[in-house]
A and B are shown apart, each in its own frame.
Chain A
């Protein structure tokens, strides 16, 4: 079955073509079925390949399948080829599985939208690109997928393009991403220049001969990381993600929670062989991830739009994953990627259900007490929130705890300290969202809005994801020897920073208990603020008005970028437009034309029509020539 690995991206591509070209004429059920089926088939095929893969002996777990040679130029070759190894299989399973669920959900959610077929064709195109990204065996093909998901992100964020804010957000996402992509390309160039090939296995094998800390590898990894900063919304290129909430909620769930934004983390894990050779880059990665995790969490505290809270939460959790990679815990980063996909997708889909049930209302200040109207949504949302807060035995507990643990033993105490505080804040703002939405007084007009539960096409994915978010963490069970199946499976794909140490079991258990209690503290604070004493938040805000201003306005980062980057670029282009293009270029072209006209206006006067003028001209010529010849 592994020979058919190329079908995995092909199914959604065919779905894209059918829905894109014929979708307008097909009934909505058919469109939705084709879209979901395409991804579903990819998922089933992936599962099949996974089972076959498990049959392979442990030492032999790398398979490359080439479809065709894409570029052959001189001594350089770029293949369209797939790499099947533990890392890519994990990613493929997550991407195709979560995508299938979200496709099914979208059938219900987007039911009344006139652009229904367009939505599904874009979604399929996105899945196609994402699958290529995670299964490519060389940098160039991965970059194709990388760019492709960026394009689809733009198309899907700006799906309701008639809305100015939506199209602006799409543009912003694409442009900011591009900055990252520039770095990614530089990284690819450096790698090609140094190693002469772009194939992962060849590059990593050649790199192992380089000394630790070599300048070339540090430069390459830093440039590649710039791409991850853009794609995975780290500081300073995270600004596009909150605005990306302009897109439909399934888009936010799929692209900006579970899959596209994780591409940067995937890239870090894939290139772990390079990163472990560049301690400087690792430090940069860890610090950036840590800062992102912390600051995004603080920003999430003051948001009132339910999707924005989740957006900042995503940025923060991505920061955790990046930081994990930065301290060498690549496996933990990928583990958290997987669990995060489950519970974040669930959170977004649940939020979508709330918005759907509240007829488009997104502001939490106008919600409240919804748990009796939407029980399924409420319970699944609660499961996801418990997971993200890191409460045992839900999935997020295992992955987040691993990250915190490794940030302490492989990183520094400072990392661990800040990360733990951020975990507390995470728990706080997530439960704040839950309490404001599902508990308390009903702050909406009953006559206007009749909240109702989601239809089964939306509810079923919620339930499935909730189950995954509940038990998905058990594959990575710590402490007990041999229980961490996930780590065992993934280890061959990933380079180790230093040989694995054994830590005392009691130490590990103590750390687990500590992080969970920190989360409980956060929940308790949220409980006090939003259930027990609802006026407490307002009093706190009144005490620290400046701080609150800063947090509420997201530290004015967008405004700063606007003034420092966007305005100068606009001025520059204005100048190039009026000053250069209109005056210089057009001026030259028009000027040469008018010069010709002027010359001809004067030359015309020679054509008098009189024979005597022409005779005079002949005479003049004779005089000149004779004079020249004789005078020589």
Chain B
């Protein structure tokens, strides 16, 4: 055992929490998207950790898929941000509030 599982998981948790904070706190839509990527990244780390612990390659296969999906999601998300910017002139989520009461 080079690195015990708990270390991987602790780091994963810390990165995930940082991502969550980023989503809640930041106003800029792009930065929010980046925080989401960080959360996905943290999850990947957990998967890898488990793959290492159980000596099973399935964990890494999962990471493969998560990576793919993350890429697709970023592409679409950024396209959306560009479209919103064109429409409303701002990418601060504070300004996108016409659905309120």
List which B73-101 residues lie within 8 A (CB) of chain A. Answer: 93-94, 96-101
A623 to nearest B CB, angstroms? 10
A612/B99 contact (C-beta < 8 A), A619-B20, A619-B24 known: no
B33 to nearest A CB, angstroms? 12
Does A612 lie within 8 Å of B23, measured CB to CB?
yes
Cβ-based interface call for A610 (8 A): yes
Complex Cα distance, B98 from A564, in Å, reads 69
Does A610 lie within 8 Å of B24, measured CB to CB?
no
Contact with B along A186-217 (1 / 0, CB 8 A): 00000000000000000000000000000000
Residues of A within 8 A of B101 (CB): 604-605, 607, 609
Contact with A along B50-79 (1 / 0, CB 8 A): 000000000000000000000000000000
Does A610 lie within 8 Å of B93, measured CB to CB?
yes
Cβ-based interface call for A504 (8 A): no
Residues of B within 8 A of A609 (CB): 96-101
Quick one: closest B residue to A611, CB to CB?
B93
Residues of A within 8 A of B20 (CB): 619
Residues of B within 8 A of A612 (CB): 23-24, 32, 93
Contact with B along A268-282 (1 / 0, CB 8 A): 000000000000000
B80 to nearest A CB, angstroms? 12
Quick one: closest A residue to B29, CB to CB?
A611
Quick one: closest B residue to A607, CB to CB?
B101
Quick one: closest A residue to B36, CB to CB?
A615
Cβ-based interface call for A608 (8 A): yes
Does A608 lie within 8 Å of B24, measured CB to CB?
no
Does B97 lie within 8 Å of A615, measured CB to CB?
no
Complex Cα distance, B101 from A612, in Å, reads 16
Residues of A within 8 A of B100 (CB): 607-610
B36 to nearest A CB, angstroms? 10
Contact with B along A495-514 (1 / 0, CB 8 A): 00000000000000000000
The listed residue (A605, A610, A616) touching B97 by CB distance below 8 A is A610
The listed residue (B24, B94, B99) touching A615 by CB distance below 8 A is B24
Q: Number of residues in B with C-beta < 8 Å to the partner?
A: 12
Residues of B within 8 A of A604 (CB): 101
Residues of B within 8 A of A607 (CB): 99-101
List which A589-632 residues lie within 8 A (CB) of chain B. Answer: 604-605, 607-612, 615-616, 619
Most buried by A among B20, B93, B94, B101: B101
Does B96 lie within 8 Å of A611, measured CB to CB?
yes
Complex Cα distance, B24 from A612, in Å, reads 6
Complex Cα distance, B101 from A605, in Å, reads 8
Does B94 lie within 8 Å of A616, measured CB to CB?
no
Complex Cα distance, B24 from A609, in Å, reads 14
Residues of B within 8 A of A611 (CB): 93, 96
Complex Cα distance, B101 from A563, in Å, reads 60
Complex Cα distance, B93 from A609, in Å, reads 10
Residues of A within 8 A of B98 (CB): 609
Residues of A within 8 A of B96 (CB): 609-611
A419 to nearest B CB, angstroms? 86
Quick one: closest A residue to B26, CB to CB?
A612
B67 to nearest A CB, angstroms? 23
Complex Cα distance, B15 from A442, in Å, reads 121
Complex Cα distance, B26 from A615, in Å, reads 12
Complex Cα distance, B98 from A450, in Å, reads 90
A120 to nearest B CB, angstroms? 68
B11 to nearest A CB, angstroms? 19
A616/B24 contact (C-beta < 8 A), A607-B100, A608-B100, A609-B98 known: yes
Residues of B within 8 A of A616 (CB): 24
Most buried by B among A607, A612, A616: A612
Complex Cα distance, B100 from A610, in Å, reads 8
A608/B97 contact (C-beta < 8 A), A615-B23, A616-B24, A619-B20 known: yes
A596 to nearest B CB, angstroms? 16
Contact with A along B3-35 (1 / 0, CB 8 A): 000000000000000001001100000001000
Residues of A within 8 A of B97 (CB): 608-610
A609 to nearest B CB, angstroms? 3
Residues of A within 8 A of B94 (CB): 610
Residues of B within 8 A of A615 (CB): 23-24
Complex Cα distance, B100 from A605, in Å, reads 9
Quick one: closest B residue to A604, CB to CB?
B101
Residues of B within 8 A of A608 (CB): 97, 100
A79 to nearest B CB, angstroms? 69
Residues of B within 8 A of A605 (CB): 101
Complex Cα distance, B17 from A619, in Å, reads 11
Complex Cα distance, B94 from A247, in Å, reads 82
A598 to nearest B CB, angstroms? 15
Complex Cα distance, B96 from A612, in Å, reads 11
A456 to nearest B CB, angstroms? 86
Quick one: closest B residue to A609, CB to CB?
B100
Complex Cα distance, B98 from A517, in Å, reads 106
A103 to nearest B CB, angstroms? 74
A611 to nearest B CB, angstroms? 5
A36 to nearest B CB, angstroms? 76
Quick one: closest A residue to B23, CB to CB?
A615
Residues of A within 8 A of B23 (CB): 612, 615
Complex Cα distance, B97 from A611, in Å, reads 8
B12 to nearest A CB, angstroms? 15
Complex Cα distance, B99 from A604, in Å, reads 12
Residues of B within 8 A of A610 (CB): 93-94, 96-97, 100
A-B contact pairs, 20 of them (CB 8 A): A605-B101, A607-B99, A607-B100, A608-B100, A609-B96, A609-B97, A609-B98, A609-B99, A609-B101, A610-B93, A610-B94, A610-B96, A611-B93, A612-B23, A612-B24, A612-B93, A615-B23, A615-B24, A616-B24, A619-B24
Which are the 7 A-B pairs with shortest beta-carbon distances?
Answer: A609-B100, A609-B97, A609-B99, A604-B101, A607-B101, A611-B93, A608-B100
Known A-B contacts: A610-B94, A619-B24. Give 6 more (CB < 8 A).
A607-B100, A608-B97, A609-B99, A610-B97, A610-B100, A612-B93
- Residue numbers of A with Cβ under 8 A of B are 604-605, 607-612, 615-616, 619
